[in-house]
Structure 1
Amino acid sequence: MNSSDPELVGWVSEPNGRGTLGLLTTCLTTIVLCTWVVIHPRVYQSESFATCHKLALLAKTLLAPEFIAVEGLQEWAQCRRMVEECSKYTNGEFKLLHAYYISMLALRYRTPEGNRVVWPNQFTWLLEQGAIDWRRDYASWGLTEKQIRDKNKSDSITKLITLFQVLWFVATCIMRAANALPLSQLESMTLSYIPLFAITYFFWWEKPKDVFAPTVVDLPPMDLEQLIKFESMALSDKFDYVNAQKTYWSIWDLTPRVLEKEEEERESRKATQQTRPGNSQQETPKSPTFGEAEIRGEEGEIKARKDIVVAHWDPYLYNSKTIRALCSLFGASFGALHLACWNTAFPTVAEKWMWRSSAFVSIFSLLAFMHFEKVVLCWNGVITIVQIGSPALYFASRLLMMGEVFVALRAVEKRVYETYDVADYGITL
């Protein structure tokens, strides 16, 4: 070791000031509280799928909080549009709370086979058609603010404790910087979560939390044509009935992608216009791509299997340069805040450069991934390598940094455990 290198220490006990156990407790408590408060899962009819969905959101929030923040933004934007569309049929009484409640699949309708989801676009259509009257039906549909808030399991005490813990943690980090005392890698990572958790919680401020039982209603009378139209607007049948869901793939998704249904309907109308007799602009049918493997029906017709959508921007957000710039800034902030311990001593030089390079890789790989409006599992040359490779690099860098924050505790710069006067009288929940 060079004489100018800082002194490194291993486990440090508590009684004489900051210790390793206190450092671990403070950081992990802050992360767990923030994660618990910020997660707002959708409603499932199956208890096992509901549990798996919540665990999947927990894993996604810890591994990639930027993705949760973007999903929160997309759901907020989608619900805002739903409020605008529904307000003219409800005399302005349809609020963001109602939009979130329906968007999280908490409204179902009875059928002989079982309960099915009322999707946001279906509810809007029912209002447009006059099939339901808001003033007359909203209470019987369980859509009064009181009814929805009664189902909300959000805990004010937990929120207050979380707020206090976060403010205390941030203040401690600022005071350490003001006193020229280094942060540990674990503190740097914990600090990185806080802005993204705050942003996500802002978007979900009105969203109900941990609603276990959906509201089940009877559909209003409709003729056959209306009923066929209504059912065709469903985004998916995977969440209908108790045993309808066969795969756990969808537990990773948070928001119903109404935008994909709208895109599908536009493509369908476009295809119908192109195939009309006398249309000179008919396109030559193309061969299925790698992600659209051929499937032959009973009569020999060729169908194309839908691609698996990995990520899809809301086009309204994607086409807004301001919002995309803000999303890029928020996305880059997570990796950038890890660099707060750039000058912190590491057990080895290799670990120091692994940490620094992983932070940069997480920043640029995420920015590359966010550049694409839609990412599907479909071979399209070099673009596909970038689309799929960038999130792979991101998660690899995140796992490396998450591992390093604990491995590095075996040899930490001694000054990490030094305290200042104010901290001696602090409280850590």
Structure 2
Amino acid sequence: MPVNAAHTALWPAPHASGAVTATVQVPGSKSVTNRALVLAALAAEPGWLRRPLRSRDTLLMAGALRAMGVGIEEGVGPDGSGEAWRVIPSGLRGPATVDVGNAGTVMRFLPPVATLADGPIRFDGDPRSYERPLHGVIDGLRALGARIDDDGRGALPLTVQGGGALEGGPVEIDASSSSQFVSALLLSGPRFNQGVEVRHTGSTLPSMPHIRMTVDMLRSIGAQVDTPESGGEPNVWRVTPGALLGRDLTIEPDLSNAQPFLAAALVTGGTVVVPDWPARTTQPGDRLREIFTEMGGSCELTDRGLEFTGSGSVHGIDVDLGEVGELTPGIAAVAALADSPSTLRGVAHLRLHETDRLAALTKEINELGGDVTETADGLRIRPRPLHGGTFHTYDDHRMATAGAVIGLAVDGVRIENVATTAKTLPDFPDLWTGMLGTGTLETGTLGN
């Protein structure tokens, strides 16, 4: 098969003939796995990551850290229970070249790490990665004393001239286009000589749950972090310099990746169970319980996990998704199948994600007969009878899963490049087909 065959192939999205009933073992969280890898690499002692996600983004992160000298051994945990990665910190060193792919966490979290390396670290990636904003990280690191060569682009490709340490201290950045700018500086902050004080100067700050995730994970391995929520100044985060502990950490299921499966229950009036759904989490995907309930479902946390049931009706919603923007494609797909209009707000920053998600959703749903219009900060969706056709993904994993959701209710939907789901959800086509066939979804080759 030609190298690009997966990108041009059309996958017939399975059509549901009735209510879906399934148990879905969702793989580990990308956001947690990649933060955990960075923190383990910066720790003062080795640590374990149990049930890590094996996907393109996490393997890119692991490969990048290895290129800088970090030991990452893949195997089973110390008690023999399931897959685990042992992370062995060592002296970060260059020269090295890092492939970021199109992973926002890799391209933004690792330049601060690279300032601590002894030697130059070059960052490069997919063509789309050149278009994604990095100015918040680049400008912030320069203000903290780093040397970065980017030919004035404020974007990839670039080289960080690692000096083995960074002075750190106070810095002002505008993180309006990505909360990852804040998280990037906080994650490496304990290793800076003066720690770091990040002050966000922009008018908006998307995806706050991801910053809270970063703070919680830093605190769990011994870092001292002051935040606006803990009585500090608004839009200011302070990390005190100090050693980080090696941890034995179990990665939570990726709740955002549970979205298409919960949507399947909502759209078909069925029931899906997601085991190991945490009772408390900073993952943005936890908002799905509230949002999909408002759209016509019901859910309960039980000993089995999260049990989500559709009522047989799907309702429109008016919702601000500013803190949970990554959920927008799946919510838009469900909204296109609802019995009343929807307005999705607060997500102008999605124009800078893996693709321009607002433009892509508008074009693809409308080409299936929908009525979607872009607003200044979101989408307005008026349900219309949809028909089959090709649903393009733009190399965006969440576009692919959104198309699959529509395909449950609309016969003849064909998804271009469904393989892009491997970015965060390996084996998605098999999992999706299994949901409609056997009713039990396993994680396929994730543990191999």
TM-score by length of 2: 0.23
TM-score in terms of structure 1 length: 0.24
Q: Tell me which protein shows more helix as a share of its residues.
A: 1
Higher radius of gyration, 1 or 2: 1
Structure with greater strand percent: 2
Task: Flag the structure with more relative contact order, 1 or 2, with Cα contacts below 8 A and sequence separation at least 6.
Answer: 1
